[in-house]
Amino acid sequence: MPTTERRADGRASGSGAVTPVLPESAAEPAVPPDGRGDRPSPAYGFPYLPIRGEIIDRLVHAWQGRLTLSVSPAALTLAFADWAMHLGNAPGKQAMLADKAMRKLVRLMVYAGAAAVDRDCPPCIEPLPGDRRFAHPDWRLFPYTLYAQSFLLAQQWLHNATTDVPGLSQAHARIVPFVARQILDVFAPSNNPVTNPEILRTAIATQGMNFAYGLANWTEDVTRLMTGRRAAGLERFQVGRDVAVTPGSVVFRNELIELIQYAPTTPAVRAEPVLIVPAWIMKYYILDLSPENSLVRYLVGRGFTVFAISWRNPGPELRDCGLEDYRRLGVMAALDAVEAICGRQPVHACGYCLGGTLLSIAAAAMARDGDDRLKSVTLLAAQTDFTEAGELMLFINESQVAYLEDIMWESGFLDTNQMAGAFQLLRSNDLIWSQVIQQYLHGHRPEVTDLMAWNADGTRLPYRMHSEYLHRLLLDNDLAEGRYRAEGGPVALTDIRAPIFAVGTRRDHVAPWRSVYKIHLLSDTTTVFLLTDGGHNAGIVAGPDRSDRQYRISERGPDDRYVDPDRWMAATPARTGSWWPAWADWLERQSGAGEVPARGAPGAPERGYAPLCPAPGRYVLEP
């Protein structure tokens, strides 16, 4: 990869590789200018070795990060200090909190008296939507109902205490309620076997064996973690055997990607191919899970020639690979290969999550340079404006990013375990505490699904690329504000003329659908927006037979007036079923070149693109 320079602050500039250790500045003297103090007498024969304080700081932060799940202690301390000082200087807010605390105590006492004689009396507070911890009927029994009601009242009061504090900065106003809620959840009565009636009922039914089974599960999990083995049950899904099994071949490989072309299953195929750009934060086969959940297989069955990028799992050797390398060696290299194999046919490009963000950058740069190879652009749960990037922004501020950069600097990448910890915190009730209760207190292992197996198969992120992503996209929002540069020049999404199909998911905590909806504000082309139920991953993986799903869809022309997301939601009727057929129908309408006879095998050996190995390839199997 090409070399580049470092800015004075140590971050990379331009594209290409950088050296991991900064050289001494040319302006910095090799020895103290006065020849005293730090420089020992030549009589002792010791050379002058200046202390590199930056390296020491980074090593200390990297060590700390292993204990803090990569969360900066300084960022948390500053947030709570800001909250405490502003709350301490708000006597009106304090008086309101004291009044609320007294009112909640009285409500609880009145309810306790009523619940002691009537188990069917209405609760004094209901859980938040989506909180299923106290849904079991046993939680209506006395005294367990008091435990649940006390916790919910305390949760509500704590929310009041950590929000709407006058003068608190916006970033800290997001962090403090989140962290306070995580701490309170530790003491939830549902997490304690003595105060959880469901666990007690299980213990009675199993004569206490549930705790023995839970201890065995915990011991197995710790052993697997310490020995580097996958979590229990994941052996059911092996890549290439149970998931990522759609037939195809790797037809191109460079140092960053493998390009997979899937074998046709119909006698004729659409002349215009589909290129899928997945996110590099996880393995590509989220879109090629088990056959009934494979979007790739579905597209092939609809008569499309499908290509998919499989990103390499980077190690220290790719520490200096940046966002521009991902665009150039990823999207653009794949487009060149697709063009060589299929001829001069326009391509329907589809990007998922970060892959969609990268695809939008590439599409804007191509439009700027007059490259018209894209027939359409599909963005699946992909953001182009990061001002409302969901709960993930809780971990994104200057203090946290600097801390994270030091952690990545030591190893050259961000490890999968560090990323997994942050995502689990975002949904701690579902991903941490519910699993603790189910596996260690009830002693029951949940059935592993293909999506769960994929979710446990993470990838690393190169140091430089992730640093640029955090600064240029999340912190500075350069793409939406016209400052992002590719091939040496700025890119603007308004240059894209290919029609856009954007998909959001209603319960997405990574790319909130209102954030995805902002593509309407950033594009001047025909845009179809589809909103499906489900979360960031489960909402996208919706097989064509899923009659339990719903979606909303509408199309906006380049001259139509903007409609805000709330009005759009109210005016757009829901449709039953998977969103996959609606997207495939749209792709067919965009494909104007008709059909051609299907080739017998992937690749084009006569053009230098002979199959290298069967799908799913080599990169996806790298640990």
Mind spelling out the 3-state secondary structure of 599-621? Answer: CCCCCEHHHCECCCEECCCCHHH
How many domains is the chain partitioned into structurally? 2
Say which residue, 340 or 174, is predicted with more confidence.
340
Q: Do 362 and 499 have their domain in common?
A: yes
* 196 part of a folded domain: yes
What's the mean pLDDT in 229-236? Answer: 84
* 195 part of a folded domain: yes
Say which residue, 407 or 336, is predicted with more confidence.
336
Q: Do 189 and 253 have their domain in common?
A: no
Q: Do 280 and 132 have their domain in common?
A: no
pLDDT at 31 > cutoff 90? no
Residue 332 in contact with residue 362, Cβ under 8 Å? Answer: yes
pLDDT at 238 > cutoff 70? yes
pLDDT confidence of 601, banded at 50, 70, 90? confident
pLDDT confidence of 29, banded at 50, 70, 90? very low
pLDDT at 259: 98
What's the mean pLDDT in 413-433? Answer: 70
Q: Do 372 and 502 have their domain in common?
A: yes
pLDDT at 4: 39
Among 46-60, 111-125, 357-371, the range scoring the smallest mean pLDDT is: 46-60
In this prediction the pTM is 0.84
pLDDT confidence of 216, banded at 50, 70, 90? very high
What's the mean pLDDT in 451-475? Answer: 90
Domain C-terminal end among 183, 206, 229: 206
pLDDT at 20 > cutoff 90? no
pLDDT at 17: 41
Q: Do 194 and 263 have their domain in common?
A: no
* 293 part of a folded domain: yes
pLDDT confidence of 512, banded at 50, 70, 90? very high
pLDDT at 418: 64
* 600 part of a folded domain: yes
pLDDT at 405: 81
Q: What is the dihedral of CA 414, 417, 419, 421, to 10 degrees?
A: -150
* 420 part of a folded domain: no
pLDDT at 329: 97
DSSP, collapsed to helix, strand or coil, labels residue 380 as strand
- In the block, tokens 């290409």 appear at 16
Domain range for 587 is 248-385+491-621
pLDDT at 446: 86
pLDDT at 495 > cutoff 90? yes
DSSP, collapsed to helix, strand or coil, labels residue 203 as helix
pLDDT at 11 > cutoff 70? no
* 178 part of a folded domain: yes
CATH value at residue 369: 3.40.50.1820
How far apart CA 497 and CA 157 sit, in angstroms, is 51
Listed in sequence order, the residues at least 6 apart from 183 whose beta carbon sits closer than 8 Å to its beta carbon are none
What's the mean pLDDT in 73-97? Answer: 94
What is the gyration radius of the CA atoms in the chain, in angstroms? 27
What percent of the chain lies above the pLDDT cut of 90? Answer: 66
Q: Do 201 and 278 have their domain in common?
A: no
Q: Do 129 and 179 have their domain in common?
A: yes
In whole numbers, what is the pLDDT of the chain averaged over residues? 87
Q: Do 201 and 260 have their domain in common?
A: no
Q: Do 301 and 178 have their domain in common?
A: no
Looking at 121, 350, 353, 613, which residue is catalytic?
Answer: 353
How far apart CA 96 and CA 87 sit, in angstroms, is 11
Cis status, amide bond into 143, omega within 30 of 0: yes
pLDDT at 227: 84
pLDDT at 499 > cutoff 90? yes
pLDDT at 412 > cutoff 80? yes
Domain C-terminal end among 188, 206, 224: 206
pLDDT at 455: 86
Q: Do 520 and 611 have their domain in common?
A: yes
Residue 341 in contact with residue 609, Cβ under 8 Å? Answer: yes
Among 45-59, 404-418, 483-497, the range scoring the smallest mean pLDDT is: 45-59
Both tokens assigned to 367? 């439009």
pLDDT single digits (tens) 526-578: 999 999 999 999 999 999 998 899 999 999 999 999 999 999 999 999 999 99
Say which residue, 322 or 55, is predicted with more confidence.
322
Among 30-34, 62-66, 153-157, 355-359, the range scoring the smallest mean pLDDT is: 30-34
pLDDT at 384: 96
Domain C-terminal end among 186, 206, 226: 206
pLDDT confidence of 420, banded at 50, 70, 90? low
What's the mean pLDDT in 601-610? Answer: 90
Listed in sequence order, the residues at least 6 apart from 566 whose beta carbon sits closer than 8 Å to its beta carbon are none
pLDDT at 8: 37
* 201 part of a folded domain: yes
Q: Do 95 and 202 have their domain in common?
A: yes
pLDDT single digits (tens) 272-300: 999 999 999 889 999 999 999 999 999 99
pLDDT at 230: 80
pLDDT at 355 > cutoff 50? yes
- Mark whether 121 is an active-site residue: no
Q: Do 376 and 516 have their domain in common?
A: yes
pLDDT confidence of 225, banded at 50, 70, 90? confident
Q: Give strand ranges (E) for 476-549.
A: 485-486, 489-490, 500-505, 527-532
What percent of the chain lies above the pLDDT cut of 70? Answer: 88
Side-chain-side CA neighbours of 16 within 13 Å: the count stands at 11
Question: Averaging pLDDT over each range in 85-99, 108-122, 228-242, which range is the top one?
Answer: 85-99
* 351 part of a folded domain: yes
How far apart CA 141 and CA 149 sit, in angstroms, is 12
